[in-house]
Structure 1
Amino acid sequence: MAPVPPSRPPPSLLILPPITAPGPSIHNLRTTLQPIFHSVLKPATALDVILPIAHIPEQRSRASTFQDVQCLLGKIYLITEALQEGWEEPVDVAIILVGDKHPTDDVAGVLHSWDTIKALLKEGRWKTTDAPKEIQEALGVTDGSVWEPYGYEKEKLHHLGDDNNTENPAGPDAERTYVQNAAVGGTFDHLHSGHKLLLTMTTYLLNPILTTDSHLIIGITVSEMLQQKQYLSALESFPTRVRQVLLFLHRILLTPLALTTKEESIVEPTETHLDKPFYTEKLGQIEVEIYPLKDAPGPTTRVENINALVVSRETEIGVPPINDERESKLWPPLKGFVVDLVGHKEGLKISSTDLRKKFSEQTSKQ
């Protein structure tokens, strides 16, 4: 289908130096990166951040590195959120994962190669680019670098901090857990860092190198189920929420940013077939399926071949009941993977309710 021009200008790009997951403590990471983010966030409307992760063994199941990667990703999102607290118009940040020092043939899905980044830079995907000097030279980037006034100690970002004792929530058999169909669900209203962490880590589980025909299954709550939400007038429509999820997936999967006519024509389904997706799209090597959510389990108790579910700390209690229902149907249980709440431990509250309140108050002042 003919592409529809994107509704926003191309994002700016910030490339971080390679970091070994789960990374330094949040204090050390913030000390190093906060001045850099402060310099690039203010002039941007949308910012893509390339996070090169060192030492990810691509020929292993990604379940084995899930916890470390989500921990590091959550810290980076937290730094960007904390810097923008109180801003009237926060910058839309998307973190893109790169497998540092991996050949192009050894990365797939949401984990990219430097060759891919270099090619997209030549195509003009990003408006401006900032990176440490040696990365600029390797990629042929000529933009000025915000890193130079601050400098950075490369080793400071490796093997430091108090977070290296994290336990793998997938259990001892994570090495043998190959995920072909991963699911996640939510309202995805006013897409924020918590949603972005969930979507990225669900996609991360899918490694097309090891499992062909990978499916990303996303449940999005229909409007009729949200009528009791606070600040209802500021709730985004179902089509808007779907399109924002798709746009974010385009950004992290590095697929073309322009919405297709198919995406532009999304409307809320009047008849909800809960066991079938109402929207599908192939993004790179991953088939995206979007289901309308009318109850908490969504497709996880209606689609047999889902084998992983990504949830937040506050919703992980819902995984055992889902597996109980699957067991009653003689279906295999799905693996539950848990991501942390962005900013929860640091007292920074990030929620759709707070965002609706903010937008509602802004509207009332106009």
Structure 2
Amino acid sequence: MPRDELPSLLLLPFPPDPLSRSLLNTAYRPSITAALSRLKRPNGASKLTVAVECPILHGQFLRSKTLSWTEAQALVAGIYTIISVVSAQLGIGTEIDGGPNSVDATVVLIDHNRNKRFTEDFRPAIETNNTTVIDLATFASAYHPWNYIFHVRSEVGLQFYQTYLKLAEGRQTLLQEQLIPVEGGITMNVVPQGNIPRPTPARTPGVPVVCLGGTFDYLHPGHKLLLTAAALLLKVPRKDDANMQPCTYIIGITGDELLKNKKYAEFVQSWETRARNVILFLSRILELSERGWKDTQQPQRVEERDGDVKAWFRDGTILVHCVRIQDPFGPTITVENVDALVVSGETRSGGKAVNDKRAEQGWKTLEVFEVDVLDAEDVLEEKESTKTEDNFSAKISSSAIRQQRALARPGTKI
């Protein structure tokens, strides 16, 4: 694979504490801006993996890890918001396969404590836990090779970068031009009054079966947030368990017939393309292999039928099942064995409707998890607001992306 077709990596050090969109913006926006500016190419698309250092998992043993879902998805949402705002300002497309001047960014949370030390004889290896969040050594083992590696020019940024390079040693021969320092923002860690520690956020037990639905047309940061947030709820089983059943991630994708009345419907991607892009994106955060991108561009096993795609990841411990839906409920009222439903702010009412239907059928109701929205107002200063907010909406709206496609076709009337 040519080097400019490889993804690039941006290493972001520990986030601010307490976590807020404005503090995230102050800490990370300069670094994200520098990376996106460098990767914008008029003759092609680029990919970027944004890896965020944070000791996010809790639990003494590898196979009993938990995390605060609310805290984790808020961090992912905040970073995708900054990516979308910066992309709007720089005229960068954000969707998968966006073409020239686009950057397809993926946010990955890395469970790493900056105080952890690795001995000289340490060798990184893939060592998964029962969540979809991985440690730094596993990330270094599975995510490679890179086009560029961007690292933050600060004490904590340099420490994270040097630890990563030590763990990734031998995975790729890097030229000096591929290692790019970027400016970091100000990261604030506010000590509570009286030095009383903040309460630990409530931990969220993983579940075997998670479900969500959407159109996933021109898969963009809003979709990526939703898909990532739901994946964070999965309880991944041990592959060496004799009675192992994979955790299941059911994704209802709206059928083509239901989208005929959408604005610029002729530019809606086919169901098969939308399902393929969902699987492609999830492969970046679910699949792990010491061979890097050679093995992780596609899942290890795929079964496809009309309106139904199954893909297995991590040695068969994770099953992603994309199904065509023709109504607002989809598999939530046809598959009884579902534990959790993930919704966005726009589909909040759908969660109640699903549980009402399930109750009518005598089934258990689902625990509903609502993902934060991407909102430019949270990170914009007053002088930036109007134009950037309009562009921001265009970058994260499927209908606006379809409109851009329509405008690009000669002779199209809008």
Aligned to 1:196: 224
Counterpart of 1:110 (choices 125, 129, 132) is: 132
CA deviations 1:169-203 (Å, max 9, x no partner) are xxxxx757541100111010000111111100110
Percent of aligned pairs with the same amino acid: 28
- Which one is further off, 354-363 or 23-32? 23-32
How many angstroms apart in 2 are the aligned matches of 1:205 and 1:55? 14
How many angstroms apart in 2 are the aligned matches of 1:364 and 1:218? 35
How many angstroms apart in 2 are the aligned matches of 1:190 and 1:295? 21
Cα offset, 1:84, TM superposition = 1.0
Counterpart of 2:15 (choices 8, 19, 26) is: 19
How many angstroms apart in 1 are the aligned matches of 2:305 and 2:273? 9
- Partner letter of residue 103 of structure 2? V
Cα offset, 1:138, TM superposition = 1.3
Aligned to 1:67: 70
Secondary structure at the counterpart of residue 364 of structure 1: coil
- Which one is further off, 102-111 or 202-211? 102-111
Aligned to 1:41: 36
Secondary structure at the counterpart of residue 251 of structure 2: strand
Counterpart of 2:310 (choices 272, 280, 283) is: 280
1:91-102 to structure 2, matched below 5 A, reads 91-101=103-113
Task: Say if 2:205 and 2:233, in contact at 8 Å, map to a contact too.
Answer: no
How many angstroms apart in 1 are the aligned matches of 2:304 and 2:409? 26
Cα offset, 1:27, TM superposition = 2.5
Aligned to 1:272: none
CA deviations 1:211-257 (Å, max 9, x no partner) are 96311111111111110010112211111111111110011124433
1:263-278 to structure 2, matched below 5 A, reads 268-269=306-307, 278=308
Assess, with a 3 A threshold, how the Cα gap between structure 1 residues 344 and 160 changes in structure 2: closer, same or farther. Answer: farther
How many angstroms apart in 1 are the aligned matches of 2:228 and 2:300? 25
- Partner letter of residue 281 of structure 1? A
Task: Say if 2:275 and 2:309, in contact at 8 Å, map to a contact too.
Answer: no
Which has the bigger relative contact order, CA under 8 A and spacing at least 6? 1
Aligned to 2:397: 351
Aligned to 2:154: none
Secondary structure at the counterpart of residue 315 of structure 1: helix
CA deviations 1:240-297 (Å, max 9, x no partner) are 111111110011124433347976x95753xxxxxxxx22111113111111111111
CA deviations 1:143-192 (Å, max 9, x no partner) are 565445x3555xx254589xxx99x8xxxxx7575411001110100001
Cα offset, 1:364, TM superposition = 3.4
How many angstroms apart in 2 are the aligned matches of 1:201 and 1:97? 11
Assess, with a 3 A threshold, how the Cα gap between structure 1 residues 37 and 299 changes in structure 2: closer, same or farther. Answer: same
Task: Say if 2:250 and 2:320, in contact at 8 Å, map to a contact too.
Answer: yes
RMSD over aligned CA atoms reads 3.4
How many angstroms apart in 2 are the aligned matches of 1:25 and 1:197? 17
1:138-157 to structure 2, matched below 5 A, reads 138-140=163-165, 145-147=179-181, 150-151=183-184, 156-157=187-188
Aligned to 1:244: 277
How many angstroms apart in 2 are the aligned matches of 1:365 and 1:250? 38
Rg comparison, structure with higher value: 2
How many angstroms apart in 1 are the aligned matches of 2:146 and 2:180? 16
Task: Say if 1:231 and 1:360, in contact at 8 Å, map to a contact too.
Answer: yes
Q: Does 1:126 align with 2:126?
A: no
Cα offset, 1:54, TM superposition = 2.4
- Partner letter of residue 296 of structure 1? P
Gaps of 5+ in 1: 169-173, 270-277
- Partner letter of residue 77 of structure 1? Y
How many angstroms apart in 1 are the aligned matches of 2:346 and 2:218? 19
Assess, with a 3 A threshold, how the Cα gap between structure 1 residues 115 and 40 changes in structure 2: closer, same or farther. Answer: same
Assess, with a 3 A threshold, how the Cα gap between structure 1 residues 261 and 70 changes in structure 2: closer, same or farther. Answer: closer
- Partner letter of residue 190 of structure 1? Y
Assess, with a 3 A threshold, how the Cα gap between structure 1 residues 84 and 208 changes in structure 2: closer, same or farther. Answer: same
- Partner letter of residue 83 of structure 1? V
Task: Say if 1:215 and 1:288, in contact at 8 Å, map to a contact too.
Answer: yes
TM-score, scaled to structure 2: 0.72
Counterpart of 1:206 (choices 209, 224, 234) is: 234
How many angstroms apart in 2 are the aligned matches of 1:208 and 1:245? 19
